Structure formats: C-alpha cells, structure tokens
Amino acid sequence: METIWLYQFRLIVIGDSTVGKSCLIRRFTEGRFAQVSDPTVGVDFFSRLVEIEPGKRIKLQIWDTAGQERFRSITRAYYRNSVGGLLLFDITNRRSFQNVHNWLEEAQSHVQPHSIVFLLVGHKCDLEAQRQVTQQEAEKLAGAYGMRYVETSARDAINVEKAFVDLTRDIFELVRSGDIKIQDGWEGVKSGFVPNTVHSSEEVTKGGRQCFC
C-alpha cells in the first residue's frame, strides 16, 4: 500500500568531502550509524516520511552528493530540482567551514531561476575536544546568509531529527503561504496522495514559482 503524504520535498546535501553527508543521511533515513562509509561516487538518494503536524506527512527525498571538487560537474545538475538543502561542514575541520561560502555560490549559480532553502549544519559535534569552529561564529555566518544553524552528530544521534524536521517545517510554511509554488517540470515540491478529510482547506495553485530570497 502507498503511504499517504501531503507533499514530497526534494532536498540536497552538500559540503566538503568527509564532513559526514552520507552518515548524516543514513542516520536520519535508516536510524543507524555506519563506522565504515565508502566515499560517495556521483549522487545517490534516500527517502523518509516526516510528520510535521498530526496527520500531515511530508515525504523527503534526500539527495546525497560526492564532496570532491571534481564531481561538481555531475552533482550540479541536481540543484535545480531541489527545494531545500543541508550545507554541511565538520566542526573539527576549519577548512570545511571556510568552504561553506563556495558551496553556497556553487549552489546558487546552478539553481536559477529557482532557489534553495538552506540550513547550515555543523556536523560531528560529538567531537567537542577537536572543535575548530565555535558555535558563535557559525551562527553568525548562518545569520548573514539568513539561514538557521544547527549542530549535529550522526554517531551520537544528536539533533539529526531536528535538522531535517526544522528545514521541512520552514519549507512547508513557504509552500503554505504560496511563496513556493508547485510547478510542472520542477521536482522540488510535488503534491502527494491526499485524503479529502485532511487537506480540503489547502489549495495548491499551479503556476509560476517566485523566488523568495
């Protein structure tokens, strides 16, 4: 039987190599942490349902990408159809934090004419002793870009749910307010199987989607 969901949101996870993109996604979608994780070659995707309000389920299709620079020629094709994104850096790796700006530029230049709602994620927060990026400076950077900031750990399952659910809620609000519109030929947001009782009040209009940032 098909599980009923209101919308499907397509998210993309980006950031430097070895910041923990695949591990974070697997923790969220499979509930486990793999000590062994091979480098992602190209792209891959995972799915999970999230209940944001009682009876309101969103299906997340989460796209995992290779972090190495060379793979950008492959991964950049996947920005266009994403409504949301997690931009990861590793709190124990200053370089990955400095590269956040590059990733954002890369995403923005390939998502036109659409835009992506990003969440900045400081990953591996269980490794406090090796921290090279303070929470304050990361929050400041996120603020400058108008994003939320959250610190997560896939190993200890800290804030993993929160990261994905908060981002999903933000996108849901933008869809509800009409700032993000469903569009033919765009995979970012798709309308799902909706039982009449749950979704009669919300009208989804098809048409041109506006940028909101």
The answer to whether 129 contacts another protein (rule: CB under 8 A) is no
Residue pair 122/151 in contact (Cβ under 8 Å)? The answer is yes
- Show the tokens assigned to 173: 């609000």
Cα 33 off chain centre by:
19
- Show the tokens assigned to 81: 């159809």
Of the pair 2, 203, the CB lying nearest another protein is at 2
Query: Residues 33, 187, 191, 204: which binds another protein (CB under 8 A)?
Result: 187
The answer to whether 194 contacts another protein (rule: CB under 8 A) is no
By CB under 8 A, the residues from 136 to 165 that bind another protein are: none
CB of 9 to another protein, least distance (A): 15
Which of 17, 185, 58 lies closest to 113, judged by CA?
185
Of the pair 41, 213, the CB lying nearest another protein is at 41
Q: Which long-range contacts (CB under 8 A, 24 or more apart) does 94-100 make?
A: 94/132, 94/133, 95/16, 96/15, 96/16, 96/19, 97/122, 97/132, 97/133, 97/138, 97/141, 99/15, 99/16, 100/15, 100/141
Could you tell me how many residues of this chain bind another protein (CB under 8 A)? 23
The answer to whether 127 contacts another protein (rule: CB under 8 A) is no
The answer to whether 211 contacts another protein (rule: CB under 8 A) is no
Of the pair 37, 183, the CB lying nearest another protein is at 37
By CB under 8 A, the residues from 22 to 81 that bind another protein are: 35-45, 47, 66-68, 70-71, 73-74, 77
The answer to whether 185 contacts another protein (rule: CB under 8 A) is no
Of the pair 111, 174, the CB lying nearest another protein is at 111
Whole-number Å distance between alpha carbons of 50 and 116: 19
How many CB atoms are located within 10 Å of the residue 167 CB? 25
What kind and span of H or E run contains 119? strand 117-123
Of the pair 181, 190, the CB lying nearest another protein is at 190
Find tokens 């480098």 and name the residue.
39
CB of 6 to another protein, least distance (A): 17
Which spans of this chain sit near another protein (rule: CB under 8 A)? Answer: 17-18, 35-45, 47, 66-68, 70-71, 73-74, 77, 187
